[in-house]
Structure 1
Amino acid sequence: MESITSYVDHYGYIVLFVALLLEMIALPVPGEILMSYTGYLVYQHHLNWFLAIFAAGFGTSMGMTLSYWIGSILGGPFIKKYGSLFHLGPKQMERTSSWFNRYGNKVLIIAYFIPGIRHITGYFSGITRGNFRAYAIYAYAGAFFWTGTFISIGKLLGPKWDQFHNSAIKYMGIGIVIIALGVAAVYVYRKYSLQIKSIAYALVLWVFSIFKTRIRTEFVIAGTAIVTLGFAVLMIKMIQFFVGNEFQDFNGVVNVFVPLMFDRQWSWVMDLFLQLGTQKALMTVIILTIMWILLRGKDKTHEILTLFILTMGGELYEETLRRVFHQVEANHFITLDYVTSFPSDGSIMILIVYGFAVYMLVRHSQRIWIHTLADVLLVVCLLLIGASHVFFGLQQPSDIAAGFTFGGVWLGLNILLLELFRLL
């Protein structure tokens, strides 16, 4: 590794171009580490950011082009002779080629971020004789997106590029897996849309026949149940990470990236979002929520009672959690290298109050654009409130994330109870 970085120090763009070309034809070159180090050189002003991305992206594109034509020329005879050993007979190969020609190019951008997969996509595209023009569009676009991402990460991390490279890669990998699952879900829905719609319609009719209520309420219950279950699963995973003291990498990456994304010129913005999490701001949101319920609510008593239980019970909920986890920390002799407030009590109440306010706004509004805008603003607001606490060094990122997660479970359960009262 040291020899490669020394070559980059001396020859810069040429080494970057050649190394990534060689990696795309499946030679053992540590491309991601090399690009992160290149970003560090950009940080030191030894290399130009734009030219570095161009050299890396161009080298990757040429490597993908070369692997495509190698697969196109040599892959066919190889598969015919040895394909049966890999369960790739003529019929299987025909089905695989049909699928790959239809969907394969679209997953190229994601494939770059998966080691091993990016090294074979070019060859496989050539073997299946896919349309080269369509392949090139996605392959080249993905090449510049991939190289630009890692070089920019190295530039952002600066002197800490080596320390946090592996951690950044790990959490990026998690994000790529989530995206891949989303793509797979879209594919399954498109292929089996008629069956899925018929099953969903049958379920709606079944619920409707039992509760004799509006379909809107049934979908609200189903959606809330799914989201609450997701929060509960994430909560269990976070508890495991806390007990196993496995939040160091996550905290390290976030604590590095937040100051890099928001320098001191953003102080007034961060302070503004910090104020949105204060008790004064939360009380204002609660009052506005009550006014909205009185103005537009159709079940005012239950909705105001739910808000009361959410807030008053939320205070007891967060106090109980804090004591339980302090006891867990003491009993399991968990030694942390940072001061913890797991889960953050402030984050719990922030999500509960803002989440219920947005829920009431969406629940009593018929306009779809309001639903979308309110949901997006809620997510952005929560992220920036959390970032403000990290920016000013008030809490650890893991504590904030846990607070939002635990708060999501409490909020979801109360909304479910409210909707069940509507049905009854």
Structure 2
Amino acid sequence: MVKDAVLDFVTNYGYYGLFISLVLGIVGLPIPDEILMTYCGYLVSQSVLNYWITLLTALAGSVSGISISYLMGRRFGSPLVEKYGRRLGVTEARLGTVNSWYARFGKIVLMVGYFIPGIRHVTAFAAGLSRMSYPPFALFAYLGAFIWTFTFITLGKTLGVHWTKVSEMTHNFVLWVVVLAVVGGVIYVLYRWRKRKSKLPPQK
């Protein structure tokens, strides 16, 4: 199984294994990133890994992976989707879904996308494909990377030997993240609408 192979890889190579696995997982390979980070949190609880080094390594891997996806979308765009998209999970259907989310909720999708398996690398690719400028991409994507890595590594450290329960907890957590994202998006859209309306000259 992929999960067992990845966990063995991290067990044998420690921080290097974590970094490489997260880069490849975010770029699009089928790596169970949340389980991987929670397992590393468990290794922290057992004093095999250091918490802060693990967190920084995971953050570096996530930032590297999401940046590669962004650059791939910006540099190669549609031809890459047509030729290799399915192998990386970047399908036209997923791109359409993510683009519609961008239209509704804005750049916050880059943050929330981390918590939706199969979507996080598509959000960055879509951002590059749409020629989103780098500064706002970096602000939202890298902040999301910190929240994502901190959440699952700390979760694994807290759960300790019970870290395998993360699958059930992740399902519930992702559900709440999506709900909160939708609510936040609606509030943001209403705020923008009221702001534009306030700038309109009063009707006589």
TM-score (norm 1): 0.40
Give the total of aligned pairs.
182
The aligned runs of 1:201-350 (5 Å cut-off) are none
- Number of the residue aligned with 1:201: none
Deviates more, 1:184-193 or 1:42-51: 184-193
Q: Distance in 2 between matches of 1:23 and 1:71?
A: 16
1:212-259: CA deviation from partner (whole Å, max 9, x where unpaired): xxxxxxxxxxxxxxxxxxxxxxxxxxxxxxxxxxxxxxxxxxxxxxxx
Q: Is the 8 A contact 1:101 1:130 kept in 2?
A: no
Q: Distance in 2 between matches of 1:106 and 1:176?
A: 12
Change beyond 3 A, Cα 1:21–1:78 = closer
Change beyond 3 A, Cα 1:42–1:73 = same
Q: Distance in 1 between matches of 2:115 and 2:81?
A: 27
- Number of the residue aligned with 1:347: none
Question: Which residue type is aligned with residue 127 of structure 2?
Answer: S
The aligned runs of 1:25-424 (5 Å cut-off) are 25-77=27-79, 100=102, 104-162=106-164, 164-193=165-194
Q: Cα RMSD between the aligned structures? A: 2.8
Change beyond 3 A, Cα 1:101–1:136 = farther
Q: Distance in 2 between matches of 1:51 and 1:77?
A: 38
Change beyond 3 A, Cα 1:49–1:79 = closer
Q: RCO (CA 8 Å, sep 6+): is it higher in 1 or 2?
A: 2
Secondary structure (helix, strand or coil) at the match of 1:27 reads: coil
Question: Which residue type is aligned with residue 167 of structure 1?
Answer: E
1:9-41: CA deviation from partner (whole Å, max 9, x where unpaired): 221100100000001111111111110100000
1:335-377: CA deviation from partner (whole Å, max 9, x where unpaired): xxxxxxxxxxxxxxxxxxxxxxxxxxxxxxxxxxxxxxxxxxx
Secondary structure (helix, strand or coil) at the match of 1:183 reads: helix
Change beyond 3 A, Cα 1:79–1:47 = closer
Residue ranges of structure 1 left out of the alignment (5+ in a row): 81-85, 197-424
Identity among equivalent positions (%) equals 38
Q: Is the 8 A contact 1:101 1:131 kept in 2?
A: no
> How far apart are 1:135 and its partner, in Å?
0.5
> How far apart are 1:5 and its partner, in Å?
1.6
Q: Distance in 1 between matches of 2:80 and 2:157?
A: 43
Question: Which residue type is aligned with residue 175 of structure 2?
Answer: I
Q: Distance in 2 between matches of 1:171 and 1:53?
A: 23
Residue ranges of structure 2 left out of the alignment (5+ in a row): 83-91, 198-204
> How far apart are 1:102 and its partner, in Å?
9.7
